[in-house]
Amino acid sequence: MSAVSAGALPLDVARLRGDFPVLGQRINGQPLAYLDNGASSQRPRAVIDAERRYAEEMHANVHRGVHTLSQRATDAFEAARERVRRFLNARSSREIVFTRGTTEAINLVAQSFVRPRVGPGDEILITWLEHHANIVPWQMACEATGAVLTVAPIDRRGELDLDAFRSLLSPRTRLVAAAHVSNALGTVLPVAEIVTAAHAQGVPVLLDGAQAVPHFKVDVEALDCDFYAFSGHKLYGPDGIGVLYGRESLLAAMPPWQGGGDMILSVSFAGTTYNRLPFKFEAGTPHISGAIGLAAAIDYVDGVGLDRIAAWERELLQYATERLERIDGLKIIGTARHKASLVSFVVDGVHPHDLGTILDQAGIAIRTGHHCAMPVMEFFGVPATARASFALYNTRAEVDRLAAAVAAARAMFR
């Protein structure tokens, strides 16, 4: 007899699907099977309602007015920040900076943390698995400062070569920036080992968590990382809102990267005093409704339970891997032992772009292309892949439809 805790109860996926209005529609005459969650996930009604309620009952600018609506908006916005803090288990809400998304969060660190403190010959170490958003900001910082970008290699499974990573950490390394989960392959990176190795040499670590937070519990204190970035729209929340977690001692020492309202305490033509954390990094009117929607998304995800979501997605990943592997001529790209619920693949004789169109005609939404990770594509010698990425609301029946449509496409192009 096994003790079944509440956390181990399987998801009632059929009921949860009802929370997502967009899933009820038909696309090209077929029920929508939305398998492009790695690009952006759908929003539950709770998120849509939170944003609407904000617009209908409390919209005003934050941190400014003495009037009631401004106070309501400020309270809700700051409550959202506190909700994010709890979600990440950060020590203080001063460590939670709202951004437009993961990309902007990484750029903030590149501009405000890296650029002022690196020079010619210094190094920024990333991995081969990075999304362009965790490559290009560092290239720009390197170009401006004379620093050098170094890249830790991966193996044929799409796993990071940890030994090579460790050997690339040098006395000149000023920052390690790594994905928590690869968006192109689904690989979960060994972030604990990465942080331990980097910190042993006194090197701070930024983790790109865009593909991690929707799939499993992230605890920045346990990870001991120095920066952590993620986006709302991949976490069942709104687009245009994201988060940079930064260790308070580091954020406090960093200059602001954009100037404007809200990020100052006082301005005169003789000089300006910057606001305290985290407002120093939030110039201008923020995406208030986005932050409130993000908090609602976090409430939703925590309400369902990330452990249960992770268990269901693991089952979907295993099922999808088995189903797709059986298709003649199909090759899965990225076979790491530890993966998030995502399958990247190519099919002999069928270009991913054609596959995307054919699947769309069957009501199935997947991503095709280079996934903003062209170095990964180059490593595997493919111009593009097809990628099915799963969320809590996906079903085994949708995986069956995916497999059937891929097999049909293969037959058509034979």
Partner 1 sequence: MDLKDLYRDVILDHNRRPRNFGRLEPPARAAPGYNPLCGDQLVVYATLDGDRIGELRFEGSGCAISVASASLMTEAVKGKSRAEAEHLFGLVHALLTDADAATPPELGKLAALGGVREFPARVKCASLCWHTLNAALAGDPTPVSTE
371 neighbors 183 (Cβ within 8 angstroms)? yes
β-pair type (30-31, 26-27): antiparallel
CB neighbour class for 340 (10 Å; exposed up to 12, middle 13-18, buried from 19): buried
105 neighbors 244 (Cβ within 8 angstroms)? yes
Which CB, 116 or 383, lies closer to partner 1?
Answer: 383
Residues in contact with partner 1, counted by CB under 8 A, come to a total of 18
Which stretch in 46-54, 223-231, 318-326, 344-352 sits in contact with partner 1 by CB under 8 A? Answer: 344-352
Work out the angle at residue 312's Cα, subtended by the Cα atoms of residues 42 and 178, and round it to the nearest 5 degrees.
Answer: 70
Which CB, 316 or 386, lies closer to partner 1?
Answer: 386
Give the burial string for 286-310 (b: 16+ CB within 10 Å, else e): bbbbbbbbbbbbbbbbeebbbebbb
Q: Helices 45-57 and 288-304: crossing angle, nearest 10°?
A: 150
Q: Pick from 199, 247, 314, 351 the residue near partner 1 by CB under 8 A.
A: 351
Catalytic residue among 27, 148, 311, 372: 372
- Minimum gap (Å) between residue 60 Cβ and partner 1: 39
Q: Pick from 28, 92, 167, 170 the residue near partner 1 by CB under 8 A.
A: 28
With binding defined as CB under 8 A, does residue 30 bind partner 1? no
With binding defined as CB under 8 A, does residue 412 bind partner 1? yes
207 neighbors 223 (Cβ within 8 angstroms)? yes
With binding defined as CB under 8 A, does residue 216 bind partner 1? no
Q: Pick from 111, 275, 289, 368 the residue near partner 1 by CB under 8 A.
A: 368
**Residues between 369 and 408 that touch partner 1 (CB under 8 A):** 369-370, 374, 377, 383-384
Which CB, 28 or 68, lies closer to partner 1?
Answer: 28
Among 172, 109, 166, 180, smallest CA distance to 138 is for 109
Q: Find the farthest-apart pair of alpha carbons in the chain and give their distance in angstroms, rounded.
A: 74
Question: Active-site residue 142, yes or no?
Answer: no
Residues labelled catalytic = 372
Interface residues with partner 1 (CB under 8 A)?
28, 349, 351-354, 357-358, 361, 368-370, 374, 377, 383-384, 412-413
